Amino acid sequence: MSTGSIDQELVDELLSVCRTAVGDELRSITYFTEDEVEQLYLRSDLERTADLVGTRRPPRLVSP
């Protein structure tokens, strides 16, 4: 999957780490900042038309 602002080497490393941790259940990897959202990986049996921004939740503050 092509990426815009993310280095492909970083994308490959993230995919490898996520696949190792989650296995075949990994559905997608999404990179986001306040200004952009980029889908780095999407499992082949899922639709690319999913609303990435709509699934993003605001960050939670966690007290120590």
Contact 56, 37 (CB under 8 A): yes
What is the average per-residue pLDDT within 17-40?
88
Dihedral sign computed on CA atoms, order 10, 13, 18, 23: positive
What is the average per-residue pLDDT within 25-33?
87
d(CA 55, CA 36): 14
pTM of the model: 0.61
Confidence of residue 14 (pLDDT cuts 50, 70, 90): very high
Those residues with Cβ within 8 angstroms of residue 53's Cβ, 6 or more apart along the chain or in another chain: 37
Please give the pLDDT value at position 60: 65
3-state secondary structure of 50: coil
Instruction: Tell whether the model's pLDDT for residue 43 goes beyond 90.
Output: no
> What is Dmax (Cα atoms) for the chain?
40
